[in-house]
Each structure stands twice: as structure tokens, then as C-alpha cells.
Structure 1
Amino acid sequence: MPTTSGRNRSRSRSRHTAGSVRSIVVIGVAMAVAACAGPAPAGTVSADGLVALVGTSDDVTLLGWGTNADDPISIELPKRDTTWIATGRADVLAATLTDGSVATSNPVSLGVRPVTWRPVRAAGPNGDAPEGPEYFATWDPEGGRYATLAGNLAGGDAIRVVLVDPTVASAFEIALDQPVVAAPPTWIDDDRLVVITGDTDRPSSTIVDATTGGLAEGPAGARLLAASADGHRIATMAGRGAPVVVRDTSGWLAGDGSSLASIEPPDVGSSAIAIALDDGGERLAIAWAAADGSVSLAVHGGASDWRRVATPQIGSAQGAVVAWRRGG
């Protein structure tokens, strides 16, 4: 899970499962900065559909918001040492654990039925399971399969994209053959995803064709990406101190410099540690860390000129991952 400690441990990974949330940070995704341009009128957009994996000094919890943004509902986790969460079709979740394994849930219905989890044990065409550990399980636009980064992510070398269909427990691996930055892969359409490559100081990107396994050079300069579920919009962040920029994905790929919004940091020393766009790219959730190490959430709405429209409460958090439920 991205935490405030990522600033000093940007290329480390712990396997401990107890104590501080800092002990379960995967890699410091907390390299970039974002926040709000001022609040919009109350009630314009809610946090309905938001999911947040929240870490405190001694616990990790998963919270979901319905129509009452002031009253999140706790969602059971597969294990306490969950480091990443992603949402797929019919509100099925994928959780990545500290040991590099992945578990998927039954459809989430907040407060209606219990959430159950099962570990994913996928195998490739030769019958062997992909060599892990795996990081950042991220569902494709249809929400039926997910991609992970697998290998020695701390070293940034010999990393593979692993495509997994958990329904049939199948896996397909694509070697990247280049240094990879610790950041979640981002789907931009049904067949392509973007991986941040290069290094943290000069990030570039590689577009991976999930059908053919082909690799192509993508836009440079983004340290962290998040796309809407349909892939039509993308949020980019260049690094610590940089704004979060919302763009049409086609314009970003073309390098035309266009943008829909640029959300500046709220104050000196604040750093974004996770971002997420909803299904249609109309709401942007940001988890940002203050200079004192505390973490809070903000939701920005496109219908309100991308001002802050909700501030979901997560208590004394020190780390967070955000996502939007997808239904369907």
C-alpha cells in the first residue's frame, strides 16, 4: 500500500505482516503530489462508489462509501497484509497481498452480504504458475481479467506483465525486457495497458498489447497514471510537487498537450500517494499525505470544474489506496 514512508523507502519491500502500515508498503508510489482547487458547493457530487484501502499505525482496513459519504462501511479483507485493491466487473475486487499473491472476492454489496475471498492460482499454457511475487493487480475495462507486474520490482529488472483470467485460472506472461518503475499498470482500452518504465527521476512508459504481446513506446514524463474504467480519460502525475492533470486518453497518447483539468497541491509538503478515476472519468479520487505524515482523501468532480466536492473521512491514516466500484 502506498504510504507516507514511501518517501524514504521508494525501492524497498517488506514481508512483515504486523505492526506499522509502513511494514507492508510495496514500493513508494508516493512520489507525486496533488490536491484540490477549493471546495465546490455541498452535495454536487458524493463519494458514492468509492473504495479505500486504509492503513494506520497498527491496522489495515477496507472501506466503501454509499450514498452517505459520512458513514463508510467496512469491507472484509482476505488478510490483514493486503497492500493493493482494485475493482472489476459486478463489483468483484482483486486484492494483492504482501507475499505477492492475489485474491478475488465475490460481488461486493455494501452492508447486505458478507464478502468472501478466494486465492487465485492461475497457470500458463505449460501448466506452471507465473513466477512471483506479483504486484498491483489491475482489472481491464471489461473487468473480467486483470494484469499484474511480476518479478523483482524492487530491482526494477526482469519484470513481466502477467494477464490473469481468474474465472478459468489462466495466465499469460509478457516480458518487458527493460527497467520498470514501481507503479500500477493502467489499461487504456480493452487490449492495451501502459507500464511506467525507465526510472523514477526520468519516467517513460511502454504500451503493452495484451493480445499480441507487442511493446510500443508510450508518452514520457508521468510517474503515476490512473484511467477511467472505459479508458477514455486518464489522470497523470509527473512527480512530487507536480499537479494531477486530467486528460482525454487519445490526446495524451498523441502528445498534443491538451488537458481538462490541472489540480495543484493543497499546500507545501503535501504528496499524493494514490489516484483513481471513476467509470466515465467524471470523478477523481486522490489520497494525499500531509507534511506531518497524515493521509486524507479528496474527491474532485468534472461537473464542478474539477473542484473538491467531497472529503471522505478515514481517521488517523498513514497510507491509502483508492478505487471506484464499477457494478455492471
Structure 2
Amino acid sequence: MKYFARKLGFYVVALWAALTLNFFLPRIMPGDPVDIMVSRLAQKGQVTEATRQAIELLLGADDSVPLWQQYLNYFAQIFRGDLGVSVAYFPTPVATVISETLPWTVGLVGVSTIIAFLLGVTLGTIAGWKRGSWVDNLIPVTTLFQSIPYFWLALILLYVFALQIHAFPLYGGYDVWNVTPGLSWDFVGSVIRYGTLPALTIVISSVGGWMLGMRNMMVTTLSEDYILTAEAKGLSRGRIMRSYAARNAIMPSISGFAISLGFVVAGSVVAESVFSYPGIGFALLTAVQNNDYTLMQGIFLIITISVLGANLLMDLLYGVIDPRTRTQG
């Protein structure tokens, strides 16, 4: 019980530190979101001083409020679910922007990460079990794709499959002209078609790491004494591979998989920017281009929570799977 309480306490402190950093970073960065909003409104008409003060209050940038009071208000707003108003998507609240874009990112990057993990672990198991086979010889090819810059691989796929073959669309999340969003086969099919190339980019660029890691762990595990004991008992090779070798070799990969799931939100920026995919990564890029500190704070908050949550889940799961970890420290 002390192990779980200690882990929870550590992550609570880590979350507080991340939120504090998230509060101070936009305030020390150059640029003023209030000036950006005032300049936009000035193009449509005269902006009075009262209008500027109203914008400062709306964006939480009122200099008349002491910094410590802004800090307390910031935490109070977070617990109420009030993340402020976006400058880039004004007057849409940040929480609304995140709720509309986050499902796209979770669906695309989350599913792609799961597919890459399962495919890489399966191929890595076979490659480690049958060293020198054609599956083992795939590793240099997969690691080559992993070394190619992410955006470059995406551009190659766009050029071949979208511009030359015309098998997939160039950009977007679905056919906005002919399909209405909703729980219909037309919409689901359109989402799958538009998301295939971004998902393929993520799978190709990440499957090599899972495959190589699993292959190396299989080679190490196959030299253990309990594998020799299982062979001496006359167990089938398939059972030895699944129940003895792969089951023990996969543990480090599971830990890495949990961490990679935590980075699902953060890892979508490049893919979504190249394919103009309407996810949270594209929203973050828009926020950076418009100095939308409020939206950046909200997205960084979601990234922080997802990463810390995934690591906490993995630590607690390890405490259940391996009781020895609860006695350490």
C-alpha cells in the first residue's frame, strides 16, 4: 500500500510542477495575445480602451491583477474546466477547441500506435525465434524507414499515393463537400479513407523500433535456463515461443508502449500539419502561428496529463505484475 501511495504522491507533485511551468512559460515569452486580438479588431473598426480592457479580462491578461492572484485563478479555472478563450479561434473557448480536435488525434495516432506495436512485436518475436529468416532480414529495412525524417516520409507517401496514383486524398479529415458528420457508414468510410495515409506514415516510421526491440529481447530470453528446461520437458516449440520466450521478452515493450500512448497527443503535430488533419496537433500549430498562448496552455495541459497518466498506470501495473518492485526503495 505504501508503494502505491508513494507513486501517487510523486505524480501529484509532478503534475503540480508541470501546471506551474505551464502557467509561467507564456508569461515570459515574447508577444502579447491582447495586442494580436486588438489588431484584428482594429481592421474591422475602431477599438476603444474599454474594448482593450474587456479583452484583457477575457484572456486573463490583466496586468492590474497581482501575479500570485493570477496563479490562484489559473488553478481555480482548471478545476472548473475553464481553460480560457482561444485567440486563433476567437471567440471559441479553448475547452471547445480541444474537445473537437482531440478525438481526431486519439483516433488517428492512437490506432496507428496500437497497430505498429502489435505488428512490430509479432514480427520481432518471429525474427528472434527464427534468426536468419526472411523476417529477420526485414529489420534493416524497417529501421531505414524509421531513420527517414517524419515529414519527408509523409511527403513521399502523398506524392505517390495521392498525386500520382490518386488512391487517397491530399489533405483533410473527411469529405467536407459530400459527407455530413455523424454515425453513418458514409462518414466512417470517409474518415478511414482520409486517415489511411497519415496512419500509414506513423506505422511505417515506428514499426521498426518495436520489431528491433522485441527481436533483441527474444534473443536474450532464448538463452535463459528456463527455456532449456522447457525444451528438455519435450514441450512443443510453439508453446515455448509463446508461453515462455515471448511472454517474458515482451515486458520492456509493454512499458515502452504505455509511454508511447501517453505521447499520442504530442506526437501528432508533424503528421497533422503535413496532411492538414483536423486534430489537436494541427490546432497546436495554429496556436503557435497566432501566438495563442491560451490554447497552447490548454493543449500542453492535455499532453502533460496524458503522459503522466500513462506513466502512473504503468508503474501501478508493474507493482501488481512484479511484487518485487514494491519492496524497492
TM superposition score normalised by structure 2: 0.22
Larger Rg: 2
Say which structure, 1 or 2, has more relative contact order (CA 8 Å, 6+ apart).
Answer: 2
More helix by percentage:
2
